[in-house]
Amino acid sequence: MATERIEALMERTDLTHLRACNTTELQETGEGEMMAPYLMDCRRKQKHIFRQLCVVDDMVKLLAGLESVDQLLNEPCPQNPGNDARAAWKALKGEYQDRVQEVEELISTFQLRMEELQGKRQKLETLVSTLQEKKEECKEKERVAAKRNQRAEKQISFQLEDSLQAALNALNACDLRLSYLQDEANKQQERISEWTLLKDGLQMLIRGTQRNMQYRLLSVRPSELCLELLPRATEKSLDPLRVSITMTTNDHFHLQVFQGTAGLVEEATEGQLRQVSTALVEVLERYISQGEMLSEIQALHSRFAIDWCPAERLLIFLKTATTVCHLRVGEGYPSHGQATLLSVRKDGNLLEITSLQPPGKHPVLTEWLEFLSSNPNI
């Protein structure tokens, strides 16, 4: 019987049988302000009914755990009926408040973001207006530059016309100058032909003169002559001796003797210009006086790798890349002086030369070089 009563009570207090207030319809009809007291009363009644439901739920749980009516009468009544439901409601209420606070924080954050976006929008609008002003300024500058360029083009066009006219005038002047220079060139060509004929005649005279003289003219400059002295007495054995004569402004000369292949000491002589012939004769006689020795040295140049130092009267013979021989030529050689071996250096070391002596009592340079080149000990 108790169970039946409890089930009947649960059916009567079921939430599906409670009529909910539809506030949306009231808002749409514009009667929200008039129905505010009614809605608050409905809310109060719902909270009261919810508390009653909690009590009924506790009673149901209590009755479900009883075995008889006597147990209900004998057991004491619970101190806080509906405590679990109230705790669950408080938990839901706390969660609701937390969510409300979270939503409020999100709203405040959204508002801050909206304010930031509004500030950025204002900045962008300011930048857009600034860019628009700059654009207008650039357009104005372009118009001014276009006008300036147009004026500059006109000025350049005028300058080009003036330059073209000046160039045409200069071209006409050049044509006149060219015709004048062509006439002058024709006149000079006629003079060159005359000078060529004169030069050919002079060359014929020079060749005829050279055949009867002991020198050959190499080159001629305004203040310098280059000659080759030809020792006719020994012309078959001695090379020509090259000299240069430089004339100064005070009627003096400077005579320079070049060694070349002749083997004579390079020397310089100075004097008055009228004495140049005497100086040339002295140089040639000195060259001929050493003709026999120099002729032999000149002939050895074609057979051996030698180097003649006329100032020291020293002959250097390079037998191999690592063997070098030094020979001294005495004064008056070969009639009075002799050729002697000074040293032999092989691989940077001096060799003993006391036993090195070619056959014969007074060997000449040719015999010395032939002996040293064929000696296997050096």
The DSSP-derived string for 254-312 is EEEE--TTT-PPP-EEEEEGGGHHHHHHHHHHHHHHTHHHHHHHHHHHTTS-EEEETTT
Q: What is the mean pLDDT of the chain?
A: 78
| pTM summary value | 0.36
pLDDT digits (tens, 9 = 90+) for 51-72: 788 778 777 877 777 777 666 6
Full domain range(s) for residue 351? 294-374
Residues 233 and 277 in one domain: yes
Residues 246 and 311 in one domain: no
pLDDT(6) > 50: no
Residues 272 and 340 in one domain: no
Is residue 140 within 8 A of residue 132, CB to CB? The reply is no
Residue 367 domain-assigned?
A: yes
Residue 114 domain-assigned?
A: no
Whole-angstrom distance, CA of residue 140 vs CA of residue 143:
5
pLDDT digits (tens, 9 = 90+) for 150-166: 888 888 888 888 888 98
pLDDT score recorded for residue 235: 44
Strand partners of residue 220: 225
Which residues have C-beta within 8 Å of that of residue 103, sequence separation ≥ 6? none
Q: How many residues does the chain have?
A: 378
Is residue 287 within 8 A of residue 229, CB to CB? The reply is yes
Is residue 364 within 8 A of residue 335, CB to CB? The reply is no
Q: At what angle do helices 291-301 and 276-289 cross, to 10 degrees?
A: 70
- Residue identified by tokens 């210009």 is 273
Please tell me what DSSP assigns to residue 35.
Answer: T
Whole-angstrom distance, CA of residue 51 vs CA of residue 80:
13
Is residue 57 within 8 A of residue 15, CB to CB? The reply is no
Please tell me what DSSP assigns to residue 234.
Answer: G
Percentage of the chain beyond pLDDT 70 is 77
pLDDT score recorded for residue 209: 44
Smallest Cα–Cα separation from 244: which of 214, 213, 280?
A: 280
pLDDT digits (tens, 9 = 90+) for 165-184: 988 898 898 889 998 999 89
Is residue 345 within 8 A of residue 351, CB to CB? The reply is yes
Strand partners of residue 326: 316, 343
Q: State how far Cα 377 lies from the chain centre.
A: 61
Residues 328 and 356 in one domain: yes
Residues 314 and 367 in one domain: yes
Which of 100-114, 264-278, 285-299 shows the highest mean pLDDT? 100-114
pLDDT score recorded for residue 8: 53
Terminus-to-terminus CA distance in the chain, angstroms? 153
pLDDT digits (tens, 9 = 90+) for 326-369: 999 888 787 788 888 889 998 888 888 888 888 878 888 898 89
Please tell me what DSSP assigns to residue 67.
Answer: S
pLDDT digits (tens, 9 = 90+) for 205-229: 455 444 544 667 788 887 788 877 7
The residue with greater pLDDT, 41 or 3, is 41
Residue 233 domain-assigned?
A: yes
Q: What is the pLDDT confidence band of residue 4, given thresholds at 50, 70 and 90?
A: low
Boundary (domain end) residue, out of 236, 254, 289: 289
Is residue 215 within 8 A of residue 230, CB to CB? The reply is yes
Amino acid at 203: Q
Residue 126 domain-assigned?
A: no
Residues 264 and 322 in one domain: no
pLDDT score recorded for residue 115: 92
pLDDT score recorded for residue 134: 92
Residues 367 and 302 in one domain: yes
Phi, psi dihedrals of residue 271, rounded to the nearest 5°: 175, -175
Phi, psi dihedrals of residue 103, rounded to the nearest 5°: -65, -40
Boundary (domain end) residue, out of 289, 304, 335: 289
Residue 338 domain-assigned?
A: yes
pLDDT score recorded for residue 80: 58
pLDDT(20) > 60: no
Q: What is the pLDDT confidence band of residue 257, given thresholds at 50, 70 and 90?
A: confident
pLDDT digits (tens, 9 = 90+) for 91-132: 888 888 888 899 889 989 999 999 999 999 999 999 999 999
pLDDT score recorded for residue 133: 92
Boundary (domain end) residue, out of 289, 312, 329: 289
Residue 35 domain-assigned?
A: no
Label residue 222 left, alpha or beta by phi (over 0 means left) and psi (-120 to 50 means alpha).
alpha
